[in-house]
Structure 1
């Protein structure tokens, strides 16, 4: 089969299965609304959980950073792309989150893959939650290490996998808050199990950092856990972009030597680092953002219960409504758009087959009126 035939066949099959993805050019009007074409929507599909992407302090920090440092880093951090502002951000992250070192990356995807590829060798074992992020699934599958998976959030399943491994080096990988289900990993139990088996623990807390825990320190701080490696991203609750690996000094030095995603990528702009610093300051010193988000989550769940709309057990900003069938999920999402609400339909392979869903995400920026309107539209569309 030629490439052209393979491409056409794949596109046709995805169309028939309700799996074809399409991008839409949108303009964000405020933290909670967007415009697509001529229509204005209230949107519930953003990971900007605290509404900080358009906060004046964060925008001002970026603008001032661009005036001082320019619009790009110009090179890898190993060449000339590492500025005093990047260094300050790494030091701030390490101090805030309680680690000796932090290493910056252009994205969470890059940080996750860099870490796995840097650590994993043929005699090692990677044991991961079945629902971990695609960046980690791909890195683990492509690495030379043995790759095993355990049922989602199953401590018993993890224990069985740990008992079965004979590797001297074993890395257990989980998320803090899972991106498609919104539930949290039992990190304290997982951590205790890892320690008993001399395994390292890596936590990807992209959806927990800034949102949960004292000062928004994330899932690990909330559960009083200090993993061996923590990955945080800046494009969700912090409202900017980029990521960091938090780790020991030795691991950080090792990453600086071997992580190709770090060595061979242009660093993100210093202006971006300055904006992340402003966002961290807001998160640390203004708990009212998290408090408002919590109120909005509680309101949404209460209104859904009143309307008998089925929910999962998630108490985070991620509130999935699992429908199952791909075509019906797309139809419900389209009905919500007709009513003025932007909610994305999430389908396989992002989620398991048969669990297509609406991934509703709440923000501190949403008003009570907007949340009530969404629930009303949901009750008619489902």
Structure 2
């Protein structure tokens, strides 16, 4: 069978399993999304309420915030659209050091910038895997963590049940003495389940196992969690107890890129061994300046965070009251578990017909029997929007 024939067979298998993916074309306006994927001859462009954005503070579509950045000294002095080189060659502009220094002042850790959260995770985890270390990962960690471990010996990688500290402790008790170090991987706010990790209990285990290191991904909590948006580790006052913290800038920060926070030794180690850093053209300085601008103003958005928490609480409680389905989430990521791919696609399609954009989340992103709809709430949404959504979901559920 030819290579193309094999690819076609695989695609047909995905379609049969309701797991086929395709790209759509969108334009955005506030919390609405405009679907341009339809026939261009059509005079009407469907307007949908967007429940799939990670723009948690709504800064990407905040005209005043964006204009303030364009008027800033940061923008005017660092408006370069390409680094044209990796950071280790000629692409390490001064603005990189400015941002890393500012992050160090906020988190009391060294910071190392990467092009994305994906680059940070595959770069750092792959680099650490060259050492005598056992990785123990929450079963719901992001795909980028898994990809960082792909070339690692399977015997040095174990997984514990999602957010189950008893499961984790059993693995640590049996295996920690066999390794120089054990690195426990988790997310601060899980991207699909929407629940927070048991960070205090993880730190307590770290006290018990002296060779345990904690690697926490704050991708979905940086900017939107904590009094000044500095994430879960800072909110709980546990920054000094966490060895590696990943921050991404393409969600609540409304920019692009990521960083890993760690000590000076590990920063030097990653500079010398993280291939995702060494062999990637650096992101443009204009994006780094935008990220720094966001961090300089994070404390200005406490009202947005307060509102986000309020509507998320109302929405979760309303779903639990009106729908006989499993509801997941502790904050602004709320998931409706539907079981299989076909049912998740069916719910998503019905919502689309009613003006709501909430794509089905299917395997392998989630387990095959845990396909779901993921509702990503943002600070420019209002209670009435979400009340209407609950009523729509109730109608769809009753019809099925």
The two structures have a TM-score, normalised by structure 2, of 0.90
Look up the match of 2:367: 352
**Structure 1 residues 122, 228: closer, same or farther in 2, change over 3 A?**
closer
Q: Is the 8 A contact 1:176 1:185 kept in 2?
A: yes
**Structure 1 residues 66, 222: closer, same or farther in 2, change over 3 A?**
closer
After superposition, give the CA deviation of every residue in 1:258-308 in whole Å (9 maximum; x if it has no partner). 111111111111111111122223322331110110111022124324433
Question: Aligned partners of 2:326, 2:55: CA distance in 1, in Å?
Answer: 21
Q: Is the 8 A contact 2:316 2:327 kept in 1?
A: no
| Pairwise CA distance, 1:70 | 1.9
Look up the match of 2:202: 190
Aligned counterparts, 1:261-276, within 5 A? 261-276=276-291
Look up the match of 2:42: none
Question: Aligned partners of 1:249, 1:214: CA distance in 2, in Å?
Answer: 27
Q: Is the 8 A contact 2:333 2:375 kept in 1?
A: yes
Match of 1:203, SS? strand
Counterpart check, 1:121 vs 2:130: yes
Match of 1:52, SS? coil
**Structure 1 residues 223, 66: closer, same or farther in 2, change over 3 A?**
closer
Aligned counterparts, 1:170-185, within 5 A? 170-185=182-197
Match of 1:246, SS? strand
Aligned counterparts, 1:191-340, within 5 A? 191-197=203-209, 198-226=211-239, 227-308=242-323, 310-340=325-355
Look up the match of 1:57: 65
The two structures have a TM-score, normalised by structure 1, of 0.95
Q: Is the 8 A contact 2:119 2:276 kept in 1?
A: yes
| Pairwise CA distance, 1:73 | 1.5
Look up the match of 2:146: 137
Match of 1:287, SS? helix
Look up the match of 2:83: 73
Question: Aligned partners of 1:161, 1:306: CA distance in 2, in Å?
Answer: 37
Q: Is the 8 A contact 1:83 1:270 kept in 2?
A: yes
Cα RMSD over matched residues? 1.8
| Pairwise CA distance, 1:311 | 4.8
Moved over 4 A (4+): 62-67
1:98 maps to which of 108, 111, 136: 108
**Structure 1 residues 206, 245: closer, same or farther in 2, change over 3 A?**
same
Look up the match of 1:108: 117
Question: Aligned partners of 1:123, 1:306: CA distance in 2, in Å?
Answer: 49
Question: Aligned partners of 2:75, 2:108: CA distance in 1, in Å?
Answer: 29
Question: Aligned partners of 1:25, 1:59: CA distance in 2, in Å?
Answer: 26
Counterpart check, 1:376 vs 2:388: no
Structure 2: gaps (5+ residues): 37-44
After superposition, give the CA deviation of every residue in 1:233-260 in whole Å (9 maximum; x if it has no partner). 0111111111000000111111111111
Match of 1:72, SS? coil
Match of 2:196, SS? coil
Match of 1:141, SS? coil
| Pairwise CA distance, 1:47 | 0.9
Q: Is the 8 A contact 2:313 2:331 kept in 1?
A: no
Question: Aligned partners of 1:285, 1:96: CA distance in 2, in Å?
Answer: 15
Q: Is the 8 A contact 1:58 1:275 kept in 2?
A: no
| Pairwise CA distance, 1:313 | 4.6
After superposition, give the CA deviation of every residue in 1:87-116 in whole Å (9 maximum; x if it has no partner). 1111111221231x1000010000001111
Match of 1:128, SS? strand
After superposition, give the CA deviation of every residue in 1:125-169 in whole Å (9 maximum; x if it has no partner). 111111101011121232247111111111111111112220112
After superposition, give the CA deviation of every residue in 1:306-341 in whole Å (9 maximum; x if it has no partner). 433535352211100001121121111111111111
| Pairwise CA distance, 1:367 | 2.0
Question: Aligned partners of 1:234, 1:57: CA distance in 2, in Å?
Answer: 16
Question: Aligned partners of 1:192, 1:370: CA distance in 2, in Å?
Answer: 41
